[in-house]
Amino acid sequence: MTDQGSPRSRGNNLDPWYNHYAQRTSGLAASEVRALFAVASRPEVVSLAGGMPFVSALPEDLVVGAMDRVMREQGPVALQYGSGQGVPALREQILDVMALEGISGSADDVVVTTGSQHALELFSKLFLDPGDVVLAEGPSYVTAMVIFKSYQAEVDHVPMDENGMIPEALREHIARLKADGRRVKFLYTVPTFHNPAGVTLSWERRLEILEIARQNDILVLEDNPYGLLYFGEKPPAAMRSVEREGVVYLGTFSKTLAPGFRVGWALAPHAIREKLILANEAAVLSPSSFSQLVVSQYLSDADWKAQIDTFRGVYRERKETMISALQEHLPDLSWTDPNGGFYVWLTLPPHLDSKAMLPRAVTELVAYTPGTAFYADGSGRHNMRLSFCYPTPESIRVGIRRLATVINGETDLLETFAGTGLLSSVRADRTSNNLPTDLR
């Protein structure tokens, strides 16, 4: 039996070491997206939830050939520890990838990471102290908020519309935070084919937001996983293309090659780069030499630009299928219509709650991500993110039809109880500040 004075006795019924964890672990919690994967992976469920790339569109021989050549020609190097900054040849090739979005730079300022998610975590580790504030779009990428919270920072959501973050709102938020004596450490943004909203920050706003950041001495963290996956007109150049010292740029091969390699990168000003390398070494010693060399071999041997174009075609078809199905089955609702990326942001009537409705959706064999996952303050209850990247077009049509059954059934249920006062009480509990009217 454990003594009453022992550390284990001061835990809780589920975890005897509860009181031993660092305070920052209070910010570690499974995201709603992650929690959905267990359910959404069931074969009978159409998952419109997770943002999984359709890796089956990648010819197997391209990857197998790259792996085979790496092991035959560089096996001992591929299986060994490597540099904390990354393989030099791959860092040079990453410059070619970023050049497609207007970015020029030096391979010396590229740090290879274990996916761009790892770069985001390293950056947060370097910059965030308890009580700091991170400015981000509202809504914002769910796992970024998990990371910020794990470092005991607060996310302050800046409103956005169909053209991305609203500059005037950014000014107002900065002024309010300064007046309150709060420390704004950086601005986190997914400006191109935003996750989850699907919208793209206009070129004029990119320049204006960069100027606001310069005026207020705020670093910009530009996260750009989807920028090359456009369906029609090419999106504006990256913010990093016009601002070297005030922007740290995050990129990844997860969306344009495959996430299983876990290869991403950060392009940072020199001083920040040095600290990122040290943080990278402290965390993992070095990113996987094998994965880096395979990606490098793929970029050397394959027509990788043509493969990206193939992915564009796959995702364009699926997005168009989703929009068409929404128009057919849920014509009274509103949604964003992205020109690239993976996501559509659907807005429900204000009396419906996407989070509360999810269990019913799962029983109807369709899954989505409730809008609350993308807000630090619990907003977003009348929004949901729909991912069109992974399901086949036919599955998308089935999924939207099932979703319509859920939404219409929930609406009918509420209308049935309208005379009892239930409907008015539900409506009174909803907030309407999730996104500006232009995105509803």
Residue 217 has pLDDT above 90, yes or no: yes
- Same domain membership, residue 256 and residue 213: yes
For 308-319, the pLDDT digits (tens) are 999 999 999 999
pLDDT of residue 414: 80
For 55-75, the pLDDT digits (tens) are 999 999 999 999 999 999 999
- 244 occurs within a structural domain: yes
pLDDT of residue 242: 97
Residue 14 has pLDDT above 90, yes or no: no
Q: What is the pLDDT averaged over residues 112-131?
A: 97
Label residue 17 by pLDDT band (50, 70, 90). confident
Backbone angles phi, psi at 76, to 5 degrees: -60, -35
Q: Write out the DSSP string of 248-284.
A: EEEEESTTTT-GGG--EEEE--HHHHHHHHHHHHHHH
pLDDT of residue 13: 59
Residue of 138 and 32 predicted with greater confidence: 138
Residue of 359 and 266 predicted with greater confidence: 266
- 7 occurs within a structural domain: no
pLDDT of residue 426: 42
Residues sharing a CB contact under 8 Å with residue 429, sequence separation 6 or more, in sequence order? none
- 338 occurs within a structural domain: yes
Q: What is the pLDDT averaged over residues 256-280?
A: 97
Query: Which amino acid is residue 137, in one-letter code?
Result: E
Residue 264 has pLDDT above 90, yes or no: yes
Residues sharing a CB contact under 8 Å with residue 266, sequence separation 6 or more, in sequence order? 110, 111, 113, 116, 119, 122, 123, 248, 249, 250, 251, 273, 276
What CATH number corresponds to the domain at position 352? 3.90.1150.10
- Same domain membership, residue 268 and residue 155: yes
For 157-192, the pLDDT digits (tens) are 999 999 999 999 999 999 999 999 999 999 999 999
Residue where a domain terminates, one of 273, 301, 329: 301
- Same domain membership, residue 320 and residue 295: no
- Closest to 341 (Cα-Cα) out of 321, 366, 308, 312: 312
- Same domain membership, residue 328 and residue 213: no
Q: Domains in the chain: how many in total?
A: 2
Residue where a domain terminates, one of 276, 301, 326: 301
Residue 204 has pLDDT above 70, yes or no: yes
Residue of 49 and 38 predicted with greater confidence: 49
Residue 224 has pLDDT above 70, yes or no: yes
Residue 137 has pLDDT above 80, yes or no: yes
Q: From CA 324, how far away is CA 331, in angstroms rounded?
A: 10
- 277 occurs within a structural domain: yes
Report the run of H or E that residue 366 belongs to, with start and end.
Answer: strand 366-367
Residue 372 has pLDDT above 50, yes or no: yes
Ranking 251-255, 389-393, 408-412 by mean pLDDT, the lowest is 408-412
Label residue 16 by pLDDT band (50, 70, 90). confident
Across the chain, mean pLDDT equals 90
What CATH number corresponds to the domain at position 191? 3.40.640.10
- Closest to 168 (Cα-Cα) out of 157, 156, 155, 159: 159
Residue where a domain terminates, one of 301, 317, 348: 301
- 177 occurs within a structural domain: yes
Residue 382 near residue 347 (C-beta atoms within 8 A): yes
- Same domain membership, residue 240 and residue 136: yes
Q: What is the pLDDT averaged over residues 235-259?
A: 97
Residue 22 has pLDDT above 90, yes or no: no
CA dihedral of 216, 219, 225, 229, whole degrees rounded to 10: 40
For residue 387, the enclosing domain spans 22-57+307-439
pLDDT of residue 418: 66
Bridge partners, 347 (sequence order): 334, 383
